[in-house]
Amino acid sequence: MSDSGEKSADREIPPAVNGEQEAALQRRSIRSFVKRAGRITAAQKHALLHHWPQYGIDFAQASPLDFALLFPGRDEIKLEIGFGNGDALVQMAAQDPHSAYLGIEVHEPGVGHCLHQLQQGQLNNVRLIAHDAVEVLEYMVPAGALDRVFLFFPDPWHKKRHHKRRIVNAHFKDLLVKCLKPGGVLHMATDWQDYAEVMAREMQTDARFENLGDAEGYSAKPEYRPETRFERRGQRLGHGVWDLLFRKKLG
């Protein structure tokens, strides 16, 4: 967790998205996201300035997380990659107080919005990291630490020349194998059929994972997953929504 109590009037973003983070991001030539400038509301700015020290964890390559220290007494450790504005993360954490939730997001307005919700709800089982999820998995999540990983509505990068940016790839699967406990579950959801098919193919052809869905790799939407604004938008546009759940094998 951030140990900085600084509340400088000219610091508009948490320390986790400055300095070391920016240098690390520049070292990776292909990423699954692009940091876009977005309007930050007064409430989001206030949350970034005042609530990051309570809920934020600064990225550090040489500092693996100690989940027992961060979340004493929690039954399970669950990670959401790309939590957007945090609505699903906050709702899941509020409904599951015995589990610990770690959320990763790089876009500052979304981080600010989530921080505001966490403070309003006085949740103490959530921490946030504002950094590239791949590098968080590489450097900060210990081996065998996670019970569940959520990847809800990631950027589909639908243009063919951008497919290389899709997060579900061989390296990502290697990181999941490292970070998930035996029996730990990856839960993905998307409203892009092409990406759903790619996700299913990637996971079904990997002998390290067990398909928890049907023959095509799709599962019914679990009750714990909130309906997101991306999902509602997709439904308005006539899109389907596909949930995919895969378990890391015990062997």
How does pLDDT run along the chain (251 residues), one tens digit per residue?
443 333 333 334 454 444 444 544 444 555 544 455 568 999 999 999 999 999 999 999 888 999 999 999 999 999 999 999 999 999 999 999 999 999 999 999 999 999 999 999 999 999 999 999 999 999 999 999 999 999 999 988 565 654 576 999 999 999 999 999 999 999 999 988 999 999 999 999 999 999 999 999 999 999 999 997 767 877 888 889 999 999 999 97
Its pTM stands at 0.84
Q: How many CA atoms lie within 13 A of 216 on its CB side?
A: 10
Residue with tokens 């989001």: 44
Per-residue pLDDT, 14: 52
208 lies in a domain? yes
- Residue 1 placed within a domain: no
CATH of the domain at 145: 3.40.50.150
Give the whole-angstrom CA distance, residue 95 versus residue 92: 5
- Structural domain that includes position 122: 15-248
For the chain, what percentages of helix, strand and coil (3-state, to nearest 5) are there?
Answer: 35, 20, 45
Q: Does residue 108 form part of some domain?
A: yes
pLDDT number for residue 157: 54
Position 164 scores a pLDDT of 72
Residues annotated as catalytic (active site), given as ranges: 155
Distance CA 128, CA 17 (A): 12
Total domains, the chain: 1
In a domain, 44, yes or no: yes
